[in-house]
Structure 1
Amino acid sequence: MAAPTLTATHHRAVANLLSPPRLAPYLRASGGNLRAALKLYQWNVEMSSAVYMMLHLVEVFLRNSIDKQLRAWNATQINPQTLRPHGRDWLLDPSHLVERVVRRDEIDKAARRARLAVRDSATSRRPVTHDDVLAQLAFGTWRFLLPGRDPGRQLLWREAIGGAFPGLRRPVRDLVRDVDRLHRLRNRVAHLEPLLVVAVVSLQLKAARRVLREIEPSAEAWLVSQQQVSTVAAQQPVAAPRNA
C-alpha cells in the first residue's frame, strides 16, 4: 500500500492531536512553520529511540557490574537474627545496610513486578529468582547506590560498589555526576520530552562512554559500535536553540 500524500489538512489534524503545549518547542525551533515543526517532532522520536538504545546498554552494564559486587559483599554480612552470613542474593536476602540504602519498599515493588512478569511469560510455574527481581529495579536504584552524603552509601562504595568501576581514575563525584546526567536523560526520554539540543545529547553520550570505560573498556567499545545517537543527531532538520 502506497503511503498517503500529506496535505496541510493532515498537518493541522496531527498538530491538534499532539496538542499546542507539546508542539510548542518544535514550532519555536522551526520559526512557526507547522510542516517543519512536525518534521522536527518526528526527528525527535528517532532521537529518543537512539538515546533509549544507548541508555539500555549503559543500564544493563552498570546494573550487572554493581550486582556482581553486591552479591559478593552481601555474603560477608552477618544476619543478627540467625548469627549466620546472608546469602549472595542481596535482593531476596538483603543485609540490613542494603535494605536501608536500596529501601525495602523498592525491593518489594521490584519483586512484585518480577512475579507478574514470571507469571505472564513462563510456560511452567517457577519461583522468582534474583535475576528476575534485578531486571525490575529502576535506573534510579543504581544512581542512588553511588556515594553521597549518606554514610551507608559511602560504606557500600568503599567495601563493595567501588569494585564495579575498576577503571575509575577520576574523583568519584565526577562519576556520580555522569550517572546522574544519564538518569535525568532517561527520565526525559521516558516522559517523551524534547531532545532538540544535539550538543547537550552529545555531551550525555560522552558521559555514557566515560562510565562504561570505567566499568570495562570493551563495554565502551561495544556502545560506540552500536549507538545511533551521532547518526540521528547529524540528521536534525532544524537546528534548535540551546534553550529549546
Structure 2
Amino acid sequence: MKYEKLEHFVSLPRLDRFLTACDGSKTKAQELYKANLRVAESFYPIMHLFEIFLRNTIYYKLTKYFGNPDWIVAEKSGFMSDKTLKPSKYFLKKQIESAETRVRRRGGTITSGKIIAEQMLGFWTSLFDTHHYKLLSGSIIHCFPNRPTEVQRKEINLKLDKIREFRNRVYHNEPVCFNGNKIDFREAMKIKKEILEVLGWIDHDIAKYINQFDNVDAKIHLALSL
C-alpha cells in the first residue's frame, strides 16, 4: 500500500509521528508503523495471561479472606459500599452493577463466574489502591508470596498501574515505539520485565510458563534493525 493511502485510512496525525521519527522518510515511516504493530501484537499473549493469572490469584485470596466464593457479588453491599469509598464514587460497586446489567441484557443469570469474566484489569488493580486495600486489611499483599520483603502495597500498586496503562495503549492501538518524537522501545522492554517480575512474585512457575509465548524481544530487535 502506498503511504498516501495508508495515511488516508490511518489518519494524518497518527502517521505524522512516525514520519517525524524517521526524518521525513515515508518508506521508513511505513516500516516503523508496521514494526510497531508487530511489537504491540507480541504483547497480546503475555498480557492476556497476566490478566488471567492476576485476576484468579486475587479472586482465590479474597475467597479465603471472606470465606465466600461468591464474594464478588455479596460484597457489593459489603466493603464495596463502605462510606469511606464515597470519594471514589464507589468504583468497585459500580463495576459490579454494570457487569450485572450486561449479563441480564444478554438474558443470562447472575453468577460470580460471569461477573468475574466481565471485569477489566482496572477492577483488579484498583484493589491495591489505598482506600480499598485498607478495607481488605491488606490481605491481598499475600497474593505475592515471593516478593522481596521490602516490597509492599505502594510498589506493587505502581507496577500494576504502569502495566495497566501500557496494556490500554496496546489494546487501543496507541504506539509503543516512542519516547517523545524518538524511536525508543525501552518502555516496552521495561513493561515486559515488570510483568514477568510481578508474575514471579505470585509463582515462579507461571513466570516460566509465560516465556513460551514471549517473542517481544525478537520483535523489538527486528524493529530496531530497520
TM-score range relative to shorter protein = 0.7 to 0.9
Contact 1:195 1:201 in 2 (8 A): yes
The match for 1:222 is 209
Q: CA offset at residue 142 of structure 1?
A: 1.5
Superposition pairs for residues 60-71 of structure 1, below 5 Å? 60-71=52-63
Superposed CA deviations along residues 82-135 of structure 1, whole A, max 9, x for unmatched, are: xxxxx4301221151144565211111122334456x5xxxxxx6332111101
Any gaps of 5 or more consecutive residues in structure 1?
1-5, 76-86, 120-125, 240-244
Name the SS of the counterpart of 2:40 in structure 1. Answer: helix
* Aligned AA (1:192): N
TM-score if structure 2 supplies the norm length?
A: 0.84
Higher helix share: 2
Aligned residues: 210
Q: Show CA shifts across 1:62-91 (max 9, x none).
A: 00000001112223xxxxxxxxxxx43012
SS, match of residue 128 in structure 1:
coil
Pick aligned residue for 2:93 from 72, 94, 104: 104
Following TM superposition, by how much is the alpha carbon of 1:238 offset from its aligned partner in structure 2, in angstroms?
6.2
Q: Distance in 2 between matches of 1:16 and 1:238?
A: 27
Partner residue in 2 for 1:154: 134
In 2, the alpha carbon distance for the partners of 1:206 and 1:88 equals 32
Residue segments in structure 2 that go unaligned for 5+ positions in a row = 86-90, 178-183
The equivalent of 2:181 in structure 1 is none
- In structure 1, the partner of 2:125 is 143
Partner SS state of residue 12, structure 1:
helix
What residue number does 2:180 align with?
A: none
The residue type equivalent to 1:162 in the other structure is I
TM-score normalized by the length of structure 1 = 0.78
